[in-house]
Structure 1
Amino acid sequence: MALIADILLMAGALGAGFYCFVLASRLKRFTDLETGVGGAVAVLSAQVDDLGRALAKAQGSAGGSVARLGEATERAEAAAKQLELLVASLHDLPESQEEEPAAPPVNPFFQRRKEGADV
């Protein structure tokens, strides 16, 4: 009976060892940097770094655009205030009572050419 138990115990150990060998080879393929998940993780890490740099550039250019837009808005508001003052001063001007005489109407006429006349 002890002999059968020892044989079964050895078979179990050999089966477990073979199973561990198979799992180790699968794990190597899984974490391979070129074709496995390790490669995918490396590629994603590089893409995250690139996106971080692109985001930093975009934030910098957006900050510059905001500053230029603020300056343009301030200039536009100042110009609008000046225009309001000019329009208000135009309302204060007296209307002229003199009317300019109307231009005489133009009477265009057409003259027919004689046949055979050179221009």
Structure 2
Amino acid sequence: MTFVADILMVAGTFGVAFYCYVLSARLKRFSTLESGMGGAIAVLSAQVDDMTRALARAQAAATGSAATLESLTLRAETAAARLEVMLASLHDLPERADDDAGDRRLRFVRRRNGRDEAETGI
């Protein structure tokens, strides 16, 4: 009985050794930098670094644009306030002296050149 137990123990040991060998080969293929999963991880890591740098540049540009926009908005608000003051001061101006200014109509006078009259025979 001990002999059978020893044979089963040796068979189990060989099975575990073969299993460890297969796992080690898979792990080597997984971790190779050129072709395996390690290569994919290295490429993704480089892309993450590039994206981080691009994000930092975009944030710097957005901060600069926000500062420029804020200064332009301040200038526009100042100009609008000045325009409001000018418009309010227009209400203080006196009316025109001649009241018939609104009743006036523009007249258009056509004059003929001497050359035109000669050509038409008038």
TM-score normalised by L of structure 2: 0.79
- Is residue 18 of structure 2 the alignment partner of residue 18 of structure 1? yes
Partner deviation per Cα, 1:29-78 (whole Å, 9 max, x = no partner): 12222232222221121111111101110111111111111110111011
Displacement of 1:88:
0.5
Report the CA distance between 1:102 and its aligned residue: 3.4
- Answer with 83-92 or 42-51: which moved more: 42-51
> 1:92–1:8: structure 2 CA closer, same or farther, 3 Å change rule?
same
The aligned counterpart of 1:117 is none
Unaligned runs of 5+ in 2: none
Q: What residue is the counterpart of 1:3 in the other structure?
A: 3
Question: Equivalents in 2 of 1:104, 1:20: separation in Å?
Answer: 109
Aligned to 1:102: 105
> Within 2, Cα distance between the matches of 1:35 and 1:108?
93
Matched length: 113
CA deviation profile, 1:68-102 (whole Å, cap 9, x unmatched): 11110111011001100110111111110322853
Q: CA deviation at 1:106?
A: 4.0
Where is the helix percentage greater, Structure 1 or Structure 2? 2
Q: What is aligned with 1:50?
A: 50
* Structure 1 residue runs without a partner (length 5+): 115-119
- TM-score, scaled relative to structure 1: 0.81
